[in-house]
């Protein structure tokens, strides 16, 4: 009986010690989220907010569409063809488009890269990898709760933030306010 209790105690202690070990995936993910260099297997720029901020404030005579999205967000994925179509029609009219992926580092190679290739996305795809969401979300828009899809449209004279998805018609209607 004592041997059984002793064995049970050993297994219990071993089980507790196992729970305290960091999981390999969690360690890798934490290191990736704070890394300053982009991973070699991701063909897109990876920014923290400080690196992304210049893209949100360019004074270059263009109208900029900045779309915040992720591959795991169904409404985001559904609106991307409308953004791509609009960009294809407007890129010669001094319009640029940046697609800011909010995918987690563990999804970059296995999900984001194939998605961009399969859908032949023409917009400038970048990755925002900054875990300090409570710091950077209000810098993009003070009223934004962080939900996606969300879009910032701006030029040298005007700026508007849209915390919702767009149809092709809605996006073009808003874009006309900046290009006319």
Looking at residue 6, its pLDDT comes to: 40
Sheet holding 95-101, edge to edge: 46-47, 124-128, 95-101, 63-69, 150-154, 159-162
Q: Under a CB-based contact definition with an 8 Å cutoff, are residues 140 and 152 in contact? A: yes
Indicate whether 63 and 26 sit together in one domain. no
Number of H helices, E strands in the chain: 7, 6
Residue 147 is predicted with a pLDDT of 98
Q: According to the model, what pLDDT value does residue 174 have?
A: 97
Residue 39 falls within a domain, yes or no? Answer: no
pLDDT of residue 136: 97
Does residue 159 lie in a domain region? yes
Is residue 166 within 8 Å of 151, Cβ to Cβ? yes
Residues 113 and 153 in one domain: yes
Summarised one tens digit per residue, pLDDT across range 48-71 is 999 999 999 999 999 999 999 999
Which CATH number belongs to the domain containing residue 57 in this structure?
3.40.30.10
Domain holding 123, by residue range, is 46-179
Q: What's the number of domains the chain is made of?
A: 2
Nearest to 88 by CA among 76, 99, 96: 96
- 76 and 28 fall within a common domain: no
Residues forming beta bridges with residue 45, ordered by sequence position: none
Are 102 and 17 part of one and the same domain?
no
Are residue 16 and residue 83 in the same domain, yes or no?
no
Residue 96 has pLDDT above 90, yes or no: yes
Q: Residue 176: how many CB atoms within 10 A of its CB? A: 10
């Amino acid at each position: 009986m004592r041997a059984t209790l002793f064995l049970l105690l050993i297994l219990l202690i071993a089980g507790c010690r196992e729970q305290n070990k960091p999981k390999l995936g969690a360690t890798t993910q934490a290191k990736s989220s704070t890394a300053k260099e982009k991973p070699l297997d991701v063909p897109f720029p990876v920014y923290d907010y400080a690196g992304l901020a210049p893209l949100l404030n360019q004074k270059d005579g263009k109208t900029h569409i900045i779309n915040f999205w992720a591959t795991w967000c169904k409404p985001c994925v559904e609106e991307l063809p409308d953004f791509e179509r609009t960009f294809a029609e407007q890129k010669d009219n001094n319009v640029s488009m940046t697609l800011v992926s909010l995918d987690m580092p563990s999804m970059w190679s296995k999900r984001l890269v194939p998605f961009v290739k399969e859908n032949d996305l023409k917009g400038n795809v970048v990755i925002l990898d900054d875990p300090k969401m409570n710091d950077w979300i209000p810098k993009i828009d003070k009223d934004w709760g962080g939900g996606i899809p969300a879009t910032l449209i701006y030029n040298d004279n005007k700026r508007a933030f849209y915390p919702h998805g767009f149809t092709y018609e809605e996006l073009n209607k808003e874009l006309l306010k900046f290009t006319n």
